[in-house]
Each structure stands twice: as C-alpha cells, then as structure tokens.
Amino acid sequence: MELPPGAPPSPLFTLRETPLSGRAIFAAQDIPADTLVFRSADLVLSVVLREYRREVCGHCFSYEYGRDLLVRDGGVGFAFCSEECRQLWREEQGEVGVECWRKVEGLVRGRSREDSEMVDVGLPRPRSKEIDEAWASVGAQAELIRVARAGERDANTVPQGLSNERQVRLANGATAHVGGVKVTKQHRKALQKALLSPINPDVMTFCAAGLLWRYNHPRDWDKLLALAVDVTPYHNSDDLQAFTRTYLHLLSILPLPVLELCTPDTLRALSTRDSHNSFGIRSLEDDGSEFFGYGCWPSASYFNHSCGPNVEKRRVGRAWEFRTAQEVKAGEELCITYLSGEERKLSRGRRGVVLRANWGFVCGCERCEEL
C-alpha cells in the first residue's frame, strides 16, 4: 500500500492493511534482537498535566524525582529543566504561540480547583449524535464571540486618523459599526459569559497545543488526519462539555491570527485522532508508574498492540525509540504493547476490558488466543 502521510518509512518493515486490526507493520526481512527499528520524533502536541507542570520539563519531559524545576516561565505556565529547553520551547511555539500560552495561563491561573475537577463516575461515552448536538449547541454563542473578536481586529486595523472615534465607542460599551460588522452588547456579553464558565486546564492545554501545531505546521495537518479515527473520543458527557466550553474560551482569548483555525472541525479532528493514537508520557523509572501526561507522535502510531509484544518502545526525551525485543522473522508483524507496566500482568479477561475501554478493540493477539 502507498504510505499514508506521516507513516514511518523504513527498509526494515512495510505497512499493510489487515482484516481485523487496520494497518499494521510487518518485518520486511529477518531482524536481530535489540535492533533499533524506528525512532519517532514528530511530536504534534503534548499535554503535561497541570499538577505536574512544575516538575516535568515542558520541552523534554525530564523529571527529577518530584523536585520543582529551576527554570520557570510563570507567564506561560511551563517550567523547564534548563535555559536551553526554555529557549527551544519558545522557538517551537513562535511569537504567536508564546502569546497564546500567556493568554491561556492568564485565564487558567487563579481559578478555583473545583473548576478543574471533572469527576468520572463511569458514565457512558457520548455517541455520535450526542457529540454532534453538543457542538451544535454552542454554535450561536461561538458566532457572537467571533463578531466581538472581529470588532477587536477591525478596531486595531483602521487607519490612525479614523480609529479613535471607533475605538472609544467600543470601549464605552455602546453599539458600534466596525468594519461592516455590528458589534453590540450582546456580542460582548457572549464573550464575557464564556470567560466565566468552568475551565478544565488539561483540556485547554490539549486544544491550545493542537491549534498551535496546526497554525505553525499547516502542511503537516494531513499527517494527523491520516491516523486511525475514534468517532466517540470523549470519556463521558462532562468531558465532552469540557471540550465545547474550551472552544468558547479559546475563541474569546486566542491571539487573532490563530482564531480562524479555532473551529469545531479542528478541535474534533484533534480528539478523534488523539484518542487511539496518543502515547502516555510517564516517568522513565519504576516501570513508568507516574503518568505525567500524553502526546501524539503520528509516525509512532502505526504499531499495533500485542499482549506479548516483539518490539519495545522507550521514550528518550521528546522522541520514541522502537527496538526488537527478540529476533523477528521476515513477514512477522511488529507489535508493541499499549498496556502500562501493571496492566501487562493482568489476566486475559482484564486486559481485554482495559483494551476495549481505552483503545476500542478486542485483542486477538497470539498471547490472548493461546489461552
């Protein structure tokens, strides 16, 4: 098959469609044990959970046994293990990106903890219809906010001589015509209302990171779109609502250049692709017992799962390395495991529950079939 955009190219393996597990990677030749078969460094977006932000480097994800990192960038809400990482992070985000994180941090900081705590009580995943309805239900408010923000843009761009009267009128809160768009109290109220609604900081980080990646890498968007799709990616109704609210938050605060990309289509594409393709960012010691967050690396997302994997993955800073755990014969499928250290020890039945819940498939790997 023709390689999808972003899929891993290698003389050691090929990508093929399979009847039961989508696209899969097969060895193109005999591969000795402990061979580095692939290195993936194409990080699209990452979320370092809010509670780990002071301890896990925002760029290379290093972690010093829970010690606070020395280089803090309070304005953007990230901490770094070195000045070099801070600089690399800033270069990657670009000027607009750094401004975006400043706005996000300004909104999130100081909000009460209750706002950020979503309780998962095992409620069902919203189905497609509920998801469509939830996104449609915020459409009208989103349009009002867009008009309010367009007014801001027009006020910023009218020529000097003409601008004062328009800007004063806007600042006074009265009805004003700005660049052909009538900005009224109703528009500004819609924006204020969005800003007052509860915030889930980690959902906010996910959406902002994805939008910024699309903004900074417009040609790479199809690499994300090429990934396996989960049409019901939200864990429960609260989670879905956290996303639709975040959409309105971001519409209200994002720097103007990113605003056009902030659409339900973009945000839904990020969730439907991230869901079955993201990798946990965990501590490198203790069998990865600490879960710091997660990220999406498209080229790493073509390895299927086996409960008895022949490939081991290992995070090295911001990249993933994939090494054969044993000798692999030409034609064999190359599989990693999607299970965490503790989960690997579970019985077949319990592993099945985890894999179905988190990854949406019934595992038919050799280890499962043997029993």
Ligand X SMILES: C[S@@+](CC[C@H](N)C(=O)[O-])C[C@H]1O[C@@H](n2cnc3c(N)ncnc32)[C@H](O)[C@@H]1O
| AA identity, residue 97 | G
Residue 196 — φ and ψ, nearest 5°?
A: -85, -10
**Beta carbon of residue 41, minimum distance to ligand X (angstroms, whole number):** 17
Provide the CA 59 distance to its chain's centre, in angstroms: 15
**Beta carbon of residue 211, minimum distance to ligand X (angstroms, whole number):** 22
Closer by beta carbon to ligand X, 31 or else 355: 355
Closer by beta carbon to ligand X, 97 or else 233: 233
Neighbours of 297 (CB within 10 A): 21
Residue 269's alpha-carbon distances to 170, 229, 293, 315, 351, in angstroms, are: 35, 9, 20, 25, 28
- What distance in Å separates the CA atoms of residue 337 and residue 343, rounded to the nearest whole number? 10
Tokens of 243: 């996303």
**Beta carbon of residue 291, minimum distance to ligand X (angstroms, whole number):** 18
Which residues in this chain contact ligand X in the complex, by CB under 6 A? 20-24, 227-228, 276-277, 301-302, 304-306, 359-361, 363-365
Closer by beta carbon to ligand X, 3 or else 168: 3
DSSP alpha helices (H): ranges in 180-312? 185-196, 201-216, 221-225, 237-253, 256-259, 264-274
How would you classify the pairing of strands 304-305 and 335-336? parallel
**Do 239 and 277 meet the contact criterion of CB atoms below 8 Å apart?**
no
Residues whose CB is less than 8 angstroms from the CB of residue 147 and which lie 6 or more positions away in sequence, other chains included: 181, 182, 183, 187
- What distance in Å separates the CA atoms of residue 211 and residue 246, rounded to the nearest whole number? 12
Residue 92 CB-density burial (10 A; 0-12 exposed, 13-18 middle, 19+ buried): middle
**Beta carbon of residue 277, minimum distance to ligand X (angstroms, whole number):** 5
Tokens of 342: 């503790």
**Beta carbon of residue 149, minimum distance to ligand X (angstroms, whole number):** 36
Closer by beta carbon to ligand X, 24 or else 254: 24
Closer by beta carbon to ligand X, 227 or else 334: 227
Provide the CA 192 distance to its chain's centre, in angstroms: 26
Which residue's beta carbon is nearest to the bound ligand X?
22
Closer by beta carbon to ligand X, 17 or else 286: 17
- What distance in Å separates the CA atoms of residue 263 and residue 140, rounded to the nearest whole number? 13
Closer by beta carbon to ligand X, 227 or else 259: 227
**Beta carbon of residue 335, minimum distance to ligand X (angstroms, whole number):** 7
**Beta carbon of residue 227, minimum distance to ligand X (angstroms, whole number):** 6
Closer by beta carbon to ligand X, 18 or else 164: 18
**Beta carbon of residue 3, minimum distance to ligand X (angstroms, whole number):** 12
Closer by beta carbon to ligand X, 4 or else 94: 4
**Beta carbon of residue 316, minimum distance to ligand X (angstroms, whole number):** 20
Residues whose CB is less than 8 angstroms from the CB of residue 219 and which lie 6 or more positions away in sequence, other chains included: none
